[in-house]
Structure 1
């Protein structure tokens, strides 16, 4: 089943939220996958039987739209079930089996990212990169100030800058308590290196593609100078699919 993992990834809440690792592949054992009612909410039915999480709990979510998106992942499988092609299922499994029991710790990990967020550390040159960072990152900082009253200090280069405690506290207060949304935000935070970008997507200040572009301003600048590496590009695309899946989870719960 997608998301089955023998290692205890729940020891790391961010890793658990991302459904990290390569789960085992199994041969497809069902003909039809469809969304439907299950104990505790909406779920995925494989030939009428509910999908279960790796811990053997019934996979149940509060949104019919989310259940439909999950069912679409299962329906799209071929002869073998390819877990890495099911990022939404893996993320929901991790939320229900791991994050649900550790919501406070998961939120704390997101807040740690916010204390040294990508958006705070600015280049000292060239001018084109400085301008690009400002164009993509300043609107998010403006959003956090206007929506949450959080003001942050910026730094040039990699010199650490301590953030105001009330601003970090505002990030913590902004986070949801339910494990599904929290898992999605944790995944997006780790993938982007920015809790602020994740929050901006969740609260509608950015769409996921704009946030993903913002997270890679520095990398894209280097690619324009030196060209792209094929393996690095493939890894980035795999991470982007995870990021988009997490954003879709938030959207389906709206």
Structure 2
């Protein structure tokens, strides 16, 4: 979309917050407006609209410049009216959580995975009562119905904002457990993403750096960080 405003500002009415662009309510591409319950989130959205496009009218504004806006729109307009479908889709990642699949023929990589990943499976069992099984190789392993139900309940208990964030983080990480650990405040986004790319970094150490792969990791890591920031903002933290 093209930048058509000079200045973004925060407006408050009846305990709700919205974004004004040159004094007029900001509207999404579909024509919807956002009324936000969390001042820190609203302030962050004002800031990203204020900075989008580099300050020049007519400049192209890409969706990547507005991550908080995108997540807020997803949470309030798409997920909040019917959260169960989104929660079920996210919970399905527990059936093949990355942390459960360890290296089969590379002892050094297996040792790294065991040391880095097992503590988080242990955490999930303690926190949610979800004992996930571990295998070596890429062959699918069936998880117990009890563990899957426990993790599904944990996801279903999240609000629309957390579900929106998990909807970004979990597919990138390949791990519902890591996503929940971020949501719970048990680890930060950088640590979680680092755990999710142990395999890639191990191969890079052996065979050399691939710049395209590194650039992809940087973008993916930014997406996870933005989603984690979004959750913090909806919980009153900057």
Query: Is TM (by shorter chain) over 0.5?
Result: yes
Cα deviation code 1:115-152 (max 9, x no counterpart): 11101001124222112112221121121111111111
Q: Distance in 2 between matches of 1:142 and 1:156?
A: 18
Q: Is the 8 A contact 1:38 1:60 kept in 2?
A: no
Q: How does 1:243-254 map to 2 (within 5 A)?
A: 243-254=224-235
Q: Is the 8 A contact 2:41 2:68 kept in 1?
A: no
Q: Distance in 1 between matches of 2:82 and 2:217?
A: 28
Runs (4+) of structure 1 moved beyond 4 Å? none
Q: Tell me whether 1:98 sits opposite 2:78 in the alignment.
A: yes
TM-score normalised by the chain length of structure 2: 0.89
Tell me which of 45, 50, 70 is aligned to 2:45: 70
Q: Cα RMSD between the aligned structures?
A: 1.7
Q: Is the 8 A contact 1:36 1:67 kept in 2?
A: no
Distance apart, 1:177 and its partner CA:
4.4
Q: How does 1:159-238 map to 2 (within 5 A)?
A: 159-175=139-155, 176-238=157-219
For structure 2, list consecutive stretches of 5 or more residues without a partner in the other structure. none
Q: Tell me whether 1:41 sits opposite 2:16 in the alignment.
A: yes
Matched positions, count? 229
Cα deviation code 1:31-56 (max 9, x no counterpart): 21123325772222212222223332
Distance apart, 1:155 and its partner CA:
0.6
Match of 2:62 in 1: 82
Do the aligned partners of residues 53 and 97 (structure 1) sit closer, same or farther apart at CA in structure 2, a change above 3 Å counting?
farther
Q: In structure 2, the residue corresponding to 1:98 is in which secondary structure?
A: helix
For structure 1, list consecutive stretches of 5 or more residues without a partner in the other structure. 1-24
